[in-house]
Amino acid sequence: MSAAPAFDVIVIGSGIGGLVTATQLVAKGAKVLVLERYVIPGGSAGYFERAGYRFDVGASMIFGFGTQGTTNLLTRALDAVDVSLETIPDFVQIHYHLPNGLELKVHQDYKKFLQQLQLHFPHERQGIRQFYDECWKVFNCLNQMELLSLEEPRYLARVFFQHPLACLGLVKYLPQNAGDVARRYISDPQLLQFIDMECYCWSVVPADLTPMINAGMVFSDRHYGGINYPKGGVGQIAQKLVEGLEKAGGQIQYQARVTKILTESGRAVGVKLANGKVYRAKRIVSNSTRWDTFEKLLPADEMPVSEKQWQQRYQKSPSFLSLHLGVAAEVLPKGTECHHILLENWDKMADPEGTIFVSIPTLLDPELAPVGYDIIHAFTPSWVEDWQGFSPNEYEQKKETAAGRIIERLEKIFPGLDAGLDYMEIGTPKTHRRFLGREDGTYGPIPRRKLLGLLGMPFNRTAIPGLYCVGDGTFPGQGLNAVAFSGFACAHRVAVDLGLKS
Ligand SMILES: Cc1cc2nc3c(=O)[nH]c(=O)nc-3n(C[C@H](O)[C@H](O)[C@H](O)COP(=O)(O)OP(=O)(O)OC[C@H]3O[C@@H](n4cnc5c(N)ncnc54)[C@H](O)[C@@H]3O)c2cc1C
């Protein structure tokens, strides 16, 4: 007979999805072990330090730090384990630099944002308001209910009795995509392209493939809870969650790469690490991507039918080519915003190296760089296949050439950038794969074709009893606040299954 498991729950990976699951579960009294392959927590919300700069690995436009409502999930996750973070409000979500001279800032003030957009498209005044107001309807429904597991019937019944109208509202939007709703009100092709970009910049697909539930969240919360940057860098979120986890009695191990999920009679019962160690638990949660979980940690040839079906609906999005730059502060004109999006040709929006995303977090927290310098993180979609099969020299050369192309384009919004460079680190999809442990360095799952909104996205339980998934491969998808939602839901479902207070 096997020994009794030492833990209630093992969480594979300490991305924000994994850490929210773990902290929620320790707060409910579970004995939790988090196993992280890298040397620090956070995954795509991690950081690294070079030459006096503290760079965010990925995320830097952070939702979920609001103080009201129920969608402020990062604030709530930290609260649950008695920790908190100072954040700095960012009053402009994005400064868009788009084709045909379309320059536009998304202000936190909703009216100001609408007025600006209406000024560019006066003939679509009414349609603009109707579309974004409809997004608010989705958000207002979500923002009144506690966001937990949609796989838990008693919770669903409770929420329905407490908020029947909000629930019916959400059910209506669940199968819809943002593009269909936009076209109901808007017909100007360039404005529809702008809505595509509004979706693409976080969902990496155009509006037709972006679920209305996610669009409703993002297009409204930026004006409600707002965008807030953690003081000390995005890495602080994971650091604080770990602090709370440990204070509440949970454990985390670094450089602990899980190579196998162990099953007995088809049930997940433990994990094996690269160093040969085995840990057992009553429940296993994987924060690794769905592809890594079902093709590497479990035998690919035994993949459950439901996963095969999911792979037929969703594919890996591209990864990114990332430039982490240290630049002389003079390069940035006074009044420069923190986040920018640059695209010169609408036809290239979703192409590799089409759209360039820019974050300048030092405009909010100057302490991330040496005095007199700023950080620019510029990234653009890129496929891993385009970086394979080169000698080390050729690879370095290719990186330099690609970085040169990006800097040349950025010179249009930041003249003198090249001359003002103090430091440059170039990350390719291979870098993302290596350091984030994500298959092909992918940003996450995207629909292969138009689906019914969010209906195709799996929740946390899997076809393997005892095994759950959390993070961007589960409802509701990518982004820190979204994976935090998935963490709340996962912990809730696991707690109910373990008979803990939920
Ligand atoms: C360049 C870039 C920019 C982004 N910008 C934003 C933004 O501005 N705003 C925003 O909200 N979101 C942004 N995102 C998306 C956001 O960062 C992710 O959606 C989110 O962080 C994913 O969290 P996760 O918990 O699902 O997984 P991950 O962050 O991938 O974490 C998974 C963790 O599991 C660990 N792990 C994996 N396999 C194993 C194993 N076998 N054993 C042990 N540990 C393992 C990994 O090391 C990692 O720490 C960005 C992402 C990128 C890449």
Task: Specify the CATH number for the domain of residue 53.
Answer: 3.50.50.60
Mean pLDDT taken over the chain: 96
Pairing of β 53-56 and β 87-90 = unpaired
Last residue of a domain, one of 439, 472, 490: 439
Q: Which two tokens stand for residue 106?
A: 């998304």
Mutate to test the pocket of ligand 1, among 287, 294, 376 (most ligand atoms within 8 A of CB): 287
Q: What is the pLDDT of residue 340?
A: 98
Q: What kind and span of H or E run contains 280?
A: strand 278-286
What percentage of the chain has pLDDT greater than the value 70? 99
- The mean pLDDT of 338-362, rounded to a whole number, is 98
Do 277 and 460 form a contact (C-beta atoms < 8 A)?
Answer: no
Please state the rounded mean pLDDT for residues 267-275: 98
Rounded to whole angstroms, the Cα distance separating 366 from 248 reads 33
**Pocket flag, ligand 1, residue 477 (CB < 6 Å):** no
58 lines ligand 1 (CB under 6 A): yes
Nearest ligand 1 atom to the CA of 359 is 8
In whole angstroms, what is the distance from residue 358 CA to residue 331 CA? 14
Residue type, 11: V
Residue 46 has pLDDT above 70, yes or no: yes
Domain count, the chain: 2
Mutate which of 34, 44, 259 to test ligand 1's pocket (most atoms within 8 Å of Cβ)? Answer: 44
pLDDT of residue 2: 58
Return the residue matching tokens 């592809």: 291
- Residue at 166 is within a domain: no
- pLDDT band at 464; cut points 50, 70, 90: very high
Residue with more model confidence, 77 or 171: 77
* Among 476, 474, 470, 472, residue whose Cα is nearest residue 24: 470
| pLDDT for residue 5 | 87
Same domain, 398 and 356: yes
Q: What pTM value is reported for the model?
A: 0.97
- Pair 281, 332 in one domain: no
Q: Which of 410, 439, 468 is the last residue of a domain?
A: 439
**How large a percentage of the chain has pLDDT more than 90?**
93
Domain boundary among 439, 457, 489: 439
Same domain, 390 and 433: yes
Separation between Cα atoms, residue 169 and residue 166, nearest integer Å: 5
The answer, yes or no, to whether residue 366 has pLDDT greater than 50, is yes
Q: Residues 250, 26: contact at Cβ < 8 Å?
A: yes
Q: Confirm or reject: Cβ of 483 under 6 Å from ligand 1.
A: yes
pLDDT of residue 492: 97
Using the predicted structure, report yes or no on whether residue 1 has a pLDDT greater than 60: no
Give Cβ neighbours of residue 371 (< 8 Å, ≥ 6 apart).
Answer: none
Angle (CA) 199-202-203 rounded to 5° is 65
- Are residues 328 and 297 both part of a single domain? no
Buried b (16+ CB within 10 A) or exposed e, 446-480: bbeeebebbebbbbbbbebebbbbbbbbbbbbbbb
Q: Range of 336's domain?
A: 318-439
Q: Has residue 131 got a pLDDT over 70?
A: yes
Cα gap 26→81, rounded to integer Å: 8
Same domain, 323 and 418: yes
For residue 35, pLDDT over 50 is answered with: yes
> Does the residue 193 lie in any domain?
no
Say how many Å lie between the CA of residue 103 and the centre of ligand 1.
Answer: 30
Same domain for 374 and 273, yes or no, is no
Residue 435 lies in a domain: yes
Give the Cβ contact number of residue 308 at 10 Å.
10
Same domain? For 329 and 306 the reply is no
> Does 182 map to a domain?
no
Give the C-alpha separation, 183 to 127, whole Å: 9
Do 53 and 76 fall within a single domain? yes
Give the model's confidence band at 3: pLDDT under 50 very low, under 70 low, under 90 confident, else very high: low
Position 351 pLDDT exceeds 90: yes
Same structural domain, 279 and 356: no
Q: What is the pLDDT of residues 205-263, one digit of tens each?
A: 999 999 999 999 999 999 999 999 999 999 999 999 999 999 999 999 999 999 999 99
| Domain match, 331 and 394 both | yes
Q: Are 329 and 305 found together in one domain?
A: no
Contact indicator for 138, 211 with CB cutoff of 8 Å: no
Claim to verify: residue 335 and residue 351 sit in the same structural domain: yes
Tokens (6 digits) for 215: 């669009």
